[in-house]
Amino acid sequence: MRKITIIALVFSVFASSIAIANEVNIFNARHYKADAELYGKFTKATGIKVNLINGKSGALEKRIISEGADSSADLYITADAGRCGAMDAKGHLQGGLSSEAIRAAVPKSFRTTKWVGIAKRARIIYYSPERVTGAELSGMSYEGLADPKWKGRLVIRKSSNIYNKSLVASLIENNGKKATAEWAKGVVANMARESKGNDRAQIMAVAAGEADIAVANTYYLALMLSGKKGAEQQEAAKKVKAFFPNQNGRGTHMNVSCAALVKGAPNKDNAIKLVEFLLTPESQEHFTNNTFEFPMIEGVSPSPLVVNNLGLDFQQDMNTKLASYGKNQAAALEVMTAAGWK
What one-character-per-residue DSSP string does 170-192 give? HHHHHH-HHHHHHHHHHHHHHBS
Mean pLDDT (whole number) for 106-124: 97
Nearest to 290 by CA among 38, 28, 29: 38
pTM for the full predicted model: 0.91
Nearest to 300 by CA among 285, 287, 311: 285
| pLDDT value at residue 311 | 81
> Could you tell me how far CA 162 lies from the centroid of its own chain?
9
% of the chain beyond a pLDDT of 90: 91
Indicate whether 19 pLDDT > 60.
no
Query: HSE on the CB side for 145, CA within 13 Å?
Result: 28
The third-level CATH classification (topology) of the domain covering 121-253+322-338 is D-Maltodextrin-Binding Protein; domain 2 (3.40.190)
| pLDDT value at residue 192 | 98
Residue 186 confidence class, pLDDT cut points 50, 70, 90 = very high
The architecture in CATH of the region 2-120+256-301 reads 3-Layer(aba) Sandwich (3.40)
Residues of the chain with CATH 3.40.190.10: 2-120+256-301, 121-253+322-338
Q: pLDDT (tens digit, 9 = 90+) per residue, 192-242?
A: 999 999 999 999 999 999 999 999 999 999 999 999 999 999 999 999 999
Residue 20 confidence class, pLDDT cut points 50, 70, 90 = low
